[in-house]
Amino acid sequence: MSFTFKKLTLNNWRCYEGTITLDFPEIGPEKNLIVVNGINGFGKTSLLKSLKFLFHGSGKDEILEAWNEASRNRGEKNLSVSMEFMHDGSLCKIIREVEFKTRGNTALGSEKLTLIMNGNERDQAADKIAQWLPTDVQQFVFFDGAEISRYAKKQHDQGVKDAIERVLGIPAIRNLRTDLERFVEKLEEEQETLLGVGGKSQSLREEIDDLEALDQKYKEDKNTFLEQKSGIEETLSDLEKEATKIEVIEVERKGLLDKKARRADLQTQLSEIENQISQYIRNAPLYLLLPKLRGIETKFKAKVQIPPRQDKWEKLEVVLKELIERDENCLCGREIDDESERHLKEELSTVHSTLEQMKVQSGIPGKSEIMGKLIAVSQIISRFGDGLSGGNQAMGKRASLNLRLDEIEKDINDINAKLEGHELVEIQELFRQKADLKSRLEEVHEKLGSLKENMQKNADDLRDKKRGLDQITINMEQGKILVKKLDIARRSLAAIEALLERAIKEKREQIEHLATDVFTSITNKPDEYSRVRVKEDYTLDVIRKDGTSIDNTKLSSGEKEVLAYSFITALNRSSITPVPFVMDTPFGHLDGIHREKLLKNLPGLEVQVFLLATDRDLPLNERDKIDASLAGEFEIKRDQAAARSYIEEVK
């Protein structure tokens, strides 16, 4: 690890009154984690801010805000942050101090930055530090864990994109290309001066001018085509996502047709059952009265042993009549129709006459005769019972059919809601647009291919002509060395141009590969997600196993954090200058499983990792999971009476 923090000293910094020193323990492979525990409000973020201030300074207002209040009140007029660290084998120390001058109620701080390397103070400290840790790269190494999900956004602003390329070392190569172009131009101007006007070289130079003009035009065309390509690809990507949704919707649409067919089938069955039920109601309406009749039968059986009283019988008859004659009598929502009522009255009349006979005979008990009457009553009841049983089954079936129809109706409504706004015509239009864009993309690819050939041919011609010019120059005094320089500069430029193109591609692929490794090892959906795609503008896509991509806005907050974390760690590992990683409250939205997997991943970072954590980030019962990678631990404490925070090493 070429960059490791050794000792941080804070003086009158924010909530840390006086001098606070943190001696960081040695770290080693797989043991790179340093935890600073602290509950909310005790000073974790102040610690993070001290690092940002140390490396890149602060604005005037921020410096005033950082000046510890108690020391200020005591009349102390300075604050400072310093760090000792190892960088590429050198022991370095950065000290950033502020001297305050007060006038009345206002104060103004003047900042001083010192860099000491191996015991010697270095000039141009700010430049050197910016070289180790560029300002815009800071956001990827010292950060609030809860905010990293912004790297899972659909778009990056130019600042973020530039910072990412800075981490990867791309701007230096880009600058070199520009500088070599200028350098070659300058040498060619010298060559032109040396060759003078006219002569054999004149026509060659004119041809070169024409070829260069053509090359310039080709370059402009190439940029135009690349812009078109990028625009088409972007639109196509949006359409692909829309098409994926539509494909799902199309499946739903087919499902809708199936459900509608099923509904029609169930409705037919329901209609049949309704008819059966009507039949039952017409044929056996009395089963509504079955409980009452059973009561009569029970009581009648009792009367066989105990002589009945006239008034009881009359009461039972009244009940039966009322049940029949009351208008509100109904069965499952159906009023008893005339035919049913007539049938009911007939049956009742049978019961009535049977009961009357039994009343007459009750004075002269003839047991067998009474039993015969009882059997007659029981048969009537039994007939009603049969009606009841068949009717019950039919009604049970009807209820079940209604339930299934309700469910299907709900499904149909849900699908209809999903299909809303996706009329078939629109879908066809979308697929037409997609096909159109694909064909336009192919055209642009063809144009680019043919342009590439033309450019190559032009470049070959240009090179030959320039060689011809060089041959003329080489025979002149002073010409030999100039041609040699030109040759090397042109070759270097050609190598750098190719390197730039390849480096951007390879770095992006490297980040993609590393981010995929981290993401798939942390995500809770390893069977669903296959990889992370890093697009040309460094925005991210999660790709499912079926090859479709997920709209990042659809990811949960925790998933976005995991995605962004995967990207940032991949960036750190692809960086040309790896820097210690400092995360404040890193696991804000993560569940226990994500947190555990992420903790397991931290040792793989191969840099010092600082976790500024609350007990929610690292719960007590999960501490054992970081034991193997824990190099050291600190705790931020607070003297609340004195309103000051301090830090102790946890032994």
Pick from 150, 254, 502, 623 the residue near other proteins by CB under 8 A: 502
* Nearer CB in complex with other proteins: 56/156: 56
Among residues 586, 537, 592, 591, the alpha carbon closest in space to that of 34 is found at 586
Helices 338-361, 200-283: crossing angle, 10 deg rounding:
40
Number of residues located near other proteins, criterion CB under 8 A: 33
The one-letter code for the residue type at 473 is T
Is 405 an interacting residue with respect to other proteins (CB under 8 A)? no
Q: What is the DSSP letter of 77?
A: -
Among residues 372, 281, 381, 293, the alpha carbon closest in space to that of 331 is found at 281
8 A C-beta contact, residue 583 and residue 51: no
Please identify, among the stretches 16-24, 182-190, 344-352, 355-363, the one whose residues bind other proteins according to the rule CB under 8 A: 182-190
CB-neighbour burial class of residue 647 (10 A; exposed 0-12, middle 13-18, buried 19+): buried
Pick from 494, 593, 628, 650 the residue near other proteins by CB under 8 A: 494
Instruction: Give dist(CA 514, CA 429) in Å, integer.
Output: 39
Helices 158-168, 557-574: crossing angle, 10 deg rounding:
40
Helices 479-522, 592-601: crossing angle, 10 deg rounding:
140
8 A C-beta contact, residue 170 and residue 507: yes
H helical segments located in 284-309: 290-305
* Nearer CB in complex with other proteins: 457/484: 484
8 A C-beta contact, residue 118 and residue 111: no
* Nearer CB in complex with other proteins: 169/308: 169
8 A C-beta contact, residue 530 and residue 540: no
Shortest reach from residue 150's CB to other proteins, in Å? 24
Query: How many C-beta atoms surround the C-beta of residue 239 within 10 A?
Result: 19
Residue 239's SS3 state is helix
Shortest reach from residue 486's CB to other proteins, in Å? 10
List binders of other proteins among 544-563 (CB under 8 A): none
DSSP 6-20: EEEEEEEETTEEEEE
* Nearer CB in complex with other proteins: 326/484: 484
Please identify, among the stretches 90-98, 105-113, 330-338, 477-485, the one whose residues bind other proteins according to the rule CB under 8 A: 477-485
* Nearer CB in complex with other proteins: 22/168: 168
Pick from 248, 318, 403, 576 the residue near other proteins by CB under 8 A: 576
The one-letter code for the residue type at 359 is K
Residue 337's SS3 state is coil
Please identify, among the stretches 318-326, 455-463, 485-493, 537-545, the one whose residues bind other proteins according to the rule CB under 8 A: 485-493
Site string for other proteins, 95-134 (x = CB under 8 A): --------------------------------x--xx--x
Pick from 495, 593, 642, 650 the residue near other proteins by CB under 8 A: 495
Shortest reach from residue 115's CB to other proteins, in Å? 14
* Nearer CB in complex with other proteins: 182/410: 182
* Nearer CB in complex with other proteins: 247/509: 509
Pick from 44, 93, 96, 166 the residue near other proteins by CB under 8 A: 166
Residue with tokens 């974790």: 44
Please identify, among the stretches 165-173, 355-363, 428-436, 563-571, the one whose residues bind other proteins according to the rule CB under 8 A: 165-173
* Nearer CB in complex with other proteins: 443/509: 509
* Nearer CB in complex with other proteins: 486/611: 486
Compute the 3-state secondary structure of the chain and give helix, strand, coil in percent, each to the nearest 5.
65, 15, 20
* Nearer CB in complex with other proteins: 399/576: 576
Q: Which residues bind other proteins (CB under 8 A)?
A: 127, 130-131, 134-135, 166, 169, 171-173, 175-176, 179-180, 182-183, 186, 481, 484-485, 488-489, 491-492, 494-496, 498-499, 502-503, 506, 576
